[in-house]
Chains A and B, each alone.
Chain A
Amino acid sequence: MTRYLIKRIILMFFTFIITVFLFFVFIKLLPENVPTPLKGQDNTWYELNRIKEGWDKPIITQFFLWIKNIFATGSFGFSSQLKRDVSTVYFGKIPASIYINVIPYFLSLPFAILLGVIAAIYKNKAADTVISVGIMIFISVPFFVVAVLSQYLFYFELGWAPDYKIATAPEFVEKGIWYGLSTYILPVIVLTISSIPGLARGVRAELTEQMTQDYILLAMSKGMTRRKAIFRHALKNALVPFLPGIFIGVIGIINGGIITEQLFRVDGTGKMYLEAFNGKDFAMLMLITTFGQFLGLVASIVGDLSYTLFDPRIRVGGGKLS
């Protein structure tokens, strides 16, 4: 187990370095990515960072300087657009992304499992049909369509929501905390609803699969009711495949969603990304891709490990998969 973990981490480290290096070279090769000193202005920032980040040196040197700066000063590069270090700006945006994502995420889990279980228990009955149709619709229709249409319906047509965007910090102060929190209701509901169907469909399929297994038949032949057999035995086994995904989802919360933040005016990492993309802020893009890459790799390790934690039948590192 420990050996496997170490092996995975070492492999992940190499993958990380290679991909980040590729990103770095690609971004540095972009023709616009040459910071130039402004004429007739204070250019101390340029001189300072030219030496610190090696803007006039080969790309390989710049890459090592970039890594050195991360460990030495915690600096992920200087943004010539923002005229400051990108890491302070970017990491400062993470809390806003977490606020908007964390409640929908933890709210959607029980709902999804519940709906999946109901659909599996009442398979091919009315309840199952309703749930399955709902799942089909919300899985198919892109999230941005759902979000935009709900903004249109609940704010502009029906007028139930106080605003179609979330309140900013000054609005919180001005209109009171309850108004501010009430603007979160619409995005939270939309996000919750759109993250339910994937998991619910999986739970339904897995649970129906488990219910045809022999051990359920055995449990029922020993006198257990169907309901008891489902909740005591089948459900536990049915949920195992989804646990890694749930853990990965927690990591995903940090990353935020571009569409959510764009539509509901959240001042988080997703909005930062779009700004960096549109403003061609390359130092920021480098940080964002690096951070996203890091999170993705961590997520894959966590996912693998959680399999072994919850299902002793799976032994990681035990021979090659066929």
Chain B
Amino acid sequence: MIPEVDKKKLVLVHNKTDKIDEVELKTKKIGYYKDSWIRFKKNKASLTAFIIICIIMLFIIIGPYLKNYKLYTENKTEAARIANLPPKIPGLEKLGIFNGYKTIERDKIFLVHLANSEEGKGIIKTKIDEEMLKNPNADKFKNISSLTVKVDYYKYIDYIKSYIPEDYFGTINSNKKQGAQQRDPYGTVRRSLIQEEFEENLKKGNIVDILKINKTLDSTTGKTSITYEVRMHQFKASLNTSPEDTYFWFGTTAAGQDLFTELWKGARISLLMAVLVILINTTIGLTIGAIVGYYGNLLDLLFGRLVEIISSIPFLSVLTLLTLRFGSPIWVIILAFTATGWIGSYGTGRVQFYRFKNREYVLAARTLGASDKRIMFKHIFPNTLGYIVTGYALAIPAFVFTEATYSFLNIIQYSDATSVGFLIQQGQSNMVQTPHLLLFPAIYIAILMISFNLFGNGLRDAFNPSLRGAE
């Protein structure tokens, strides 16, 4: 719709003091970024992916602090005693999922003893034959040596670490044999405490019973020191909670770490590194690419050869040689990713500057006396911004992908940090017994990669509609 214009106004400007009237746009102004945002919003899959990424980001920031679990850092042996716990989430446990239950196959005698004992009530969730409970050694059950039952694994671990271990009866039997080496049937359940520890634990009510009191006379000082051999409530002593109230949302790892915390820690490191690597790559690549593309000639020829050589080196070779030389602290990994990684941004920068430097607007700027620096920063650079932004969104998943793969293969081994690929590798090594250690990191990385790729594609379409291809 063209607004009516007064014909009288349509006259030539005769004097310099005459004012030229402009007609304001009647519609709302839409800038480049607003326009992109409108296009982005139309793509529902990308929008969903964006929201998921925001949620993941939130967890990456707060996730490691949600669960205040210090046992592993304070006492690794205590943590190892509660290793491999299955996931248990409050609320969801009532629905029958993530309730910390686990199906196990154990010795018949032990399980019957567990079911009959006072402390073991409610641990076994599967119904066991009444007759067997009364007399497990009856002729009827002679051929059955082990049972497969579903247990509340948190309570089960508490039981076998506090009262009697799984091989209690086996050890007693083997001790009976002629000339057998006598072993302690209580095994790891028996703990030695010195006087102070004992009193402290007694006050807290952690002690189950005292198995033995040792008095030793120190010959030099003449003092008697007392050590107590006791059984202790595992969860209460190490976590200060009962097994019913203990929740490890994603379970615990083979070393007794909280998987939830570890997962977000690993995710945080890999994403931080991704951002850092991409920043370094684009800064180096774009700077060199811009200069080479803008000035061209001999410089272009020289860099062309250099880049050809560098880009022919496989990433794996770079990574291998660097990690063999320097080990794998984080800076080495970043160096490995940037050593050949800047080539991509270099290509983008060079092509963009090469393309735009002969445009009319650059010529106009130069005619008006703009310096090279000003042309490059103020005129050409904003035109390449769209490419750079979309490149970011797709480079992050690419980095996470590669980093996870090589840490899965143990080529990247952080000494002081964890990574998602490493968690998956650990989970894979024992996926039959503890599938949760494999599934949670695997699902995390799958969701992250899908979301980032969808988001990146949406972003590319929104910023550069010309790249979208035919619709």
Contact = CB atoms under 8 A, between A and B. Distances in A.
Interface of A: 11, 15, 18-19, 23, 26-27, 29-30, 136-137, 139-145, 148-149, 151-152, 156, 205, 208-209, 211-212, 258-259, 262-263, 274, 277-278, 280, 285, 289, 292-293, 296-297, 300, 322
B273 to A, nearest CB: 16
B450 A212 contact: no
A259 B446 CA distance: 17
B419 to A, nearest CB: 13
A292 B432 contact: no
Nearest to B312: A15
B20 interface: no
Contact of A141 (B428, B432, B446): B446
B395 to A, nearest CB: 14
Nearest to A262: B409
Interface string B289-307: 0000000000000000000
9 contacts: A19-B312, A142-B445, A144-B404, A144-B409, A156-B435, A262-B409, A289-B314, A289-B320, A292-B314
A142 B312 contact: no
Contacts of B388: none
Size bin of chain B's contact surface: 35 or more
B404 A142 contact: yes
Interface in B442-465: 442, 445-446, 449-450, 452-454
Contacts of A297: 312
A307 B442 CA distance: 39
Contact of A148 (B313, B314, B397, B438): B438
A211 B471 CA distance: 10
Given A30-B325, A140-B446, A209-B470, A292 B316 contact: yes
A27, A136, A212, most chain B CB atoms within 10 A: A136
B424 A30 contact: no
Contacts of B316: 292
A145 B445 contact: yes
B129 interface: no
B453 A139 contact: yes
A260 B99 CA distance: 35
Nearest to A208: B470
A229 to B, nearest CB: 15
Which 9 A-B residue pairings sit nearest by Cβ, starting from the closest? Answer: A140-B449, A140-B450, A212-B470, A141-B446, A289-B317, A140-B453, A208-B470, A145-B442, A148-B428
A278 B324 CA distance: 9
A151 B438 CA distance: 12
A155 B470 CA distance: 43
B130 interface: no
Contacts, number: 103
Contacts of A322: 354-355
Nearest to B313: A19
A322 B464 CA distance: 21
Contacts of A141: 445-446, 449-450
B321 interface: yes
Given A292-B317, A296-B314, A137 B435 contact: no
B171 interface: no
A274 B312 contact: no
Given A30-B325, A142-B405, A289-B317, 14 more contacts: A27-B321, A29-B325, A139-B453, A140-B453, A141-B450, A144-B421, A148-B428, A149-B439, A152-B431, A152-B435, A293-B314, A293-B317, A322-B354, A322-B355
Contacts of B435: 152, 156
A3 B408 CA distance: 45
A182 B450 CA distance: 32
Contacts of A23: 317, 321
B35 to A, nearest CB: 23
Contacts of B442: 145, 148-149
Nearest to A282: B324
Nearest to B444: A145
A198 to B, nearest CB: 12
B411 interface: yes
Nearest to A132: B45
B387 interface: no
B423 to A, nearest CB: 11
B222 interface: no
A18 B408 contact: no
Nearest to B432: A156
B325 A26 contact: yes
Interface string B385-419: 00000000000010001001100111100000000
Nearest to B448: A140
B446 to A, nearest CB: 4
Contacts of A27: 321
Contacts of B428: 148, 263
Interface in B308-335: 308-309, 312-314, 316-317, 320-321, 324-325
A23 B446 CA distance: 35
Contacts of B313: 19, 293
Nearest to B441: A145
A285 B321 CA distance: 9
Interface string B74-95: 0000000000000000000000
Nearest to A26: B321
B3 interface: no
Contacts of B439: 149
Nearest to B397: A140
B382 interface: no
Contacts of B312: 15, 19, 293, 296-297, 300
Given A142-B449, A296-B314, A209 B408 contact: no
A26 B308 CA distance: 20
